[in-house]
Amino acid sequence: MAENDHSIKKVSIICAKGTIEDVYASLVMGNGAVMEGIEANLFFTFFGLEAVIKNRMDKLHTGVVGNPAMRLPGGARMPTWLGIIPGMEAMVSGMMKKEMDKLDVPPVSEFIELFVAGGGNLWACKLAADMFKVKQEDLSEHVKGIITVGEFYEKAGGPDSQIIFT
């Protein structure tokens, strides 16, 4: 009897948040998929659209208020109230970007180019685009289109496919 191949052939990742940590999680997963030869789709909805809006994609910030995993230099947990101090979000975001630069992690726009060059597909959510008054011309040229959730499921489906919500 032949052994069944249970490997993933297609992965579709939904990015619904526009923070550095959420967008990069989606991009890392998507790029990892195309590098492994897996067909990959990234679907940006709600605040995740920030990652594919041309004039915002490389200006993302990290969430500091209400983030219990946020650590201060040295490893101590950052008290939530520190996040409300003016400039704290910008400072923490700058620190994150500096650490990512040290690891040679590309900015969002370049990461998207790598994903698409590897064969990945980018899609924007029609409901979110309509709600936030975002048009196709506002988006990265790599976004194939603004589609409905139903159209996304058509593209995401099939045998050996997975949908991941980040």
Q: Model pTM?
A: 0.89
- Please, is 146 exposed, middle or buried when counting C-beta atoms within 10 Å of its C-beta (0-12, 13-18, 19+)? buried
Residue 136 belongs to domain spanning: 10-64+78-165
CATH label of the domain that carries residue 45: 3.40.1260.10
Answer whether residue 69 is part of any domain.
no
Answer whether residue 2 is part of any domain.
no
Cα 164 to Cα 13: distance, rounded to the nearest angstrom: 5
The dihedral sign for the CA sequence 139, 39, 21, 17: positive
Count of domains observed in the chain: 1
SS3 label, residue 15? strand
Radius of gyration of the chain (CA): 17
Spell out the per-residue pLDDT of the chain, length 166, in tens. Answer: 445 565 889 999 999 999 999 999 999 999 999 999 999 999 999 999 999 999 999 999 998 887 888 887 788 888 888 888 899 889 889 988 999 999 999 999 999 999 999 999 999 999 999 999 999 999 999 999 999 999 999 999 888 888 999 8
